[in-house]
Amino acid sequence: MLDDTIAAISTAPGVGGIGIIRISGENAFNIVDKIFEVKDKDFCVKNPVSGTIKYGHIKENEKVIDEVLVSFFVKPHSYTTEDVAEINCHGGVVVIRKILSLLLENGARLAEPGEFTKRAFINGRIDLTEAEAVIDIISSKSDKARSIAVTQLNGGLSNKLKEINNVLYDILIKIEAGIDYPEHEIEEVAKSEIKEKINETLTGLDRIYSSFDEGKVLKDGVKTVILGKPNVGKSSLMNVLLKENRAIVTDIPGTTRDLVTETTTVRGIPLLVVDTAGIRETEDKIEEIGVQKAVNEIDTADMIIAVFDLSRALDDEDKNILKLIENKKSIIIVNKDDLERKWNAEEELKGKNVVFVSLKNMTGIEEVEDMIENMWKTNDLSTSEDVILTTLRHKNLVFDAINELKAGIEAIDTGMPLDMISINVKDASLKIGEILGVNVTEDVIKGIFERFCLGK
């Protein structure tokens, strides 16, 4: 319902200098007026000047709750295009919740997750790709991921897709003209022009579609699983990548028994790093569960970093690890290069991505970072013209649109009539429209906005 007024806390939970409670809807200003005593006696809270900030107190039955600043945004000049007020109070948990409670008692409803952005979408201020970009900005794990999300929020993706849809509309107009004037020569000319236009559209869609792998890496991070036998230096490597002592490092085999997961960036590339239990045969039931978890992580990893000990002879357990990762994108770390070598790593690991390091002496670390950067090197995304797909929903719909247009090309090549070709073009246009939020189902909208926090 868009005829009610919603409110929610917009700042993160916990204690801070400032807390913000946002309220949006038809009665936003009337509700704020019931609890806000403005110091400027000439200012009317019920009929404010848009874009103003006023100082005063939040009160309950004449009792001062807090000293606040309230921002007023008159429709349609607001985030939701509705009347919006934002109460800036002190950041204590108790005071923020108390002010929210007063708003709810005076007629507001607690907002659902993402409902402010959902209203912005429903009210036409942003399309669905721009709405999805909001959560991408909030959850971005690197500066490049943030840059992509900002480009999308500013209409980068939607503008490209609208351009493509405009071409598809032109094709449909040309098809209609061909159907209205069915002379053979006119139809053949129309088919030739339509095929050329469809191929141009396919080129643009293919370029967008092919950006998904890069976009996924920048948005979600490269899932990086560290494997190896006990005491080869896995946890030490994780601490080096994180640049902090997150994983416990001891000389006792089997110290790491469960998965330890953290995020970091290496040369601007976001990594989701998973430290695992040492892979070995064990009779310890708890350690055995940890070893099995480590093996299971291999299937979902984007990259494996396998660590081996140069000071201990290569054995069957080491060779089993090499077999487990033979079809995965991987980097081999040969640790303890400062000690006497007990096996010929150059020969045993020929043809693999190998780096010799001493995690104890911190040597070889730059080479590890070089290899990660080269393996996941991304383009310079600094320009606003870059369009990168970052969500599976977008990817699947672009894929469907491409297939529809390819079917349209096939229909032309096999001599199908123009009205049959128009079906494929229309379906492709509908798929692109779904990305933008045109004729999208309520379930899809609900699923998108459920990922948002309450105050956004």
Do 322 and 409 share a domain, yes or no? no
Helix, strand or coil, per DSSP, at residue 60: strand
Q: What sign does the dihedral 101-107-110-111 (CA atoms) show? A: negative
- Which has the closest alpha carbon to 235: 258, 215, 268? 258
Query: Could you tell me the CATH number of the domain that includes residue 94?
Result: 3.30.1360.120
Q: How far apart are CA 267 and CA 102, in angstroms?
A: 48
Tell me: pLDDT of 383 over 50: no
Specify if 50 maps to a domain.
yes
Distances (CA, A) of 205 to 147, 164, 409: 21, 8, 15
Of the given ranges (35-39, 64-68, 292-296, 381-385), which has the lowest mean pLDDT? Answer: 381-385
Element housing 38 (H / E): strand 36-38
Specify if 382 maps to a domain.
no
Per-residue pLDDT at 67? 96
| Mean residue pLDDT across the chain | 85
CA atoms within 13 A on the CB side of 62: 0
Domain that holds residue 278: 221-375
Do 192 and 70 share a domain, yes or no? no
Q: How far apart are CA 392 and CA 395, in angstroms?
A: 5
Per-residue pLDDT at 9? 94
Which amino acid, residue 90? Answer: H
Per-residue pLDDT at 79? 94
Specify if 321 maps to a domain.
yes
Per-residue pLDDT at 266? 87
Per-residue pLDDT at 326? 86
pLDDT tens-digit map of 191-228: 888 899 999 999 999 999 988 877 877 777 888 888 88
Q: Choose one of 355, 375, 395: the last residue of a domain.
A: 375
Specify if 453 maps to a domain.
no
Cis ω for the linkage preceding 182 (within 30 of 0)? no
Q: What global pTM score does this model have?
A: 0.72
pLDDT tens-digit map of 114-138: 899 999 999 999 989 998 888 888 8
Percent of the chain with pLDDT over 70: 88
Instruction: Report the number of distinct structural domains present in the chain.
Output: 3
Query: Could you tell me the CATH number of the domain that includes residue 401?
Result: 1.20.120.430
Per-residue pLDDT at 256? 46
CB-count exposure of residue 90 (10 Å: 0-12, 13-18, 19+): middle
Instruction: Please list, in sequence order, all residues whose beta carbon lies within 8 angstroms of the beta carbon of residue 414, skipping any fewer than 6 positions away.
Output: none
Which amino acid, residue 182? Answer: P
Specify if 344 maps to a domain.
yes
pLDDT tens-digit map of 404-423: 999 999 999 998 888 888 99
Tell me: pLDDT of 185 over 80: no
Q: Residues 333, 357: contact at Cβ < 8 Å?
A: yes
Distances (CA, A) of 13 to 16, 17, 20, 319, 356: 9, 12, 11, 48, 44
Instruction: Please list, in sequence order, all residues whose beta carbon lies within 8 angstroms of the beta carbon of residue 380, skipping any fewer than 6 positions away.
Output: none
Instruction: Please list, in sequence order, all residues whose beta carbon lies within 8 angstroms of the beta carbon of residue 409, skipping any fewer than 6 positions away.
Output: 195, 198, 199, 202
Per-residue pLDDT at 155? 86
Structure tokens at 420: 């049959």
Rounded to an integer, what is the distance from CA 170 to the centroid of its chain?
33
- What mean pLDDT comes out for the span 91-116? 93
Do 391 and 345 share a domain, yes or no? no
Tell me: pLDDT of 378 over 80: no
Q: Residues 27, 5: contact at Cβ < 8 Å?
A: yes
Of the given ranges (262-276, 277-291, 333-347, 356-370), which has the lowest mean pLDDT? Answer: 277-291
Per-residue pLDDT at 318? 85
